[in-house]
Amino acid sequence: MAPMPVGARIDTAPARRITAGCRAVGASHILATNLADTSGTTSRLPADADCTGIRPPFLHPRRARAAQQLALLGAFTQGTCAAPDFAHGWWTARRASQANGERIQGALGDLFDQVFMILEDYAVDPDLAEPGDLDDAGLRTAVRTAWEACRRR
């Protein structure tokens, strides 16, 4: 899975790049989501379809948990999601993503793995925190640092 920002409508040039990229890696479908929509609604389109002018989500909505994880990352790093809600939402979406057979690779996969490891050092319940565990602010700082590093690649 590789995120590609296209705006509210997919123009001709991005549509061609998307189709060519899918052919190059043998992908059978394109998943599209509006990351401003925190519901995580995602659409699936055959990779060889002409997606010019389409607004995501466009076909039969289905929930791609990787898109939900991206939405959670955005909300958490912008401060609109509390640390415990982020942690619970992340773990739920990650388990569902794996159960759905979603394969996240490359920089995005590395980011998701890094966030998972960061969450290993965070105790949702402060009463259960051990020395060295991240608190809410530490979690936000670590996740924001990982997210910004990924976006600079």
* Interval 14-39: pLDDT, tens: 767 766 766 666 666 666 655 555 45
Q: What is the mean pLDDT of residues 51-58?
A: 52
- pLDDT of residue 101 exceeding 80, the answer is no
Per DSSP (E only), the strands in the chain are 29-33, 41-46, 62-63
Q: What is the mean pLDDT of residues 50-58?
A: 53
Per-residue confidence at 106, pLDDT binned at 50, 70, 90?
confident
Look at the block and give the residue holding tokens 């982020």.
86
In this prediction the pTM is 0.60
| Structural domains in the chain plus CATH codes | 1-63 (no CATH), 64-153 (1.20.120.650)
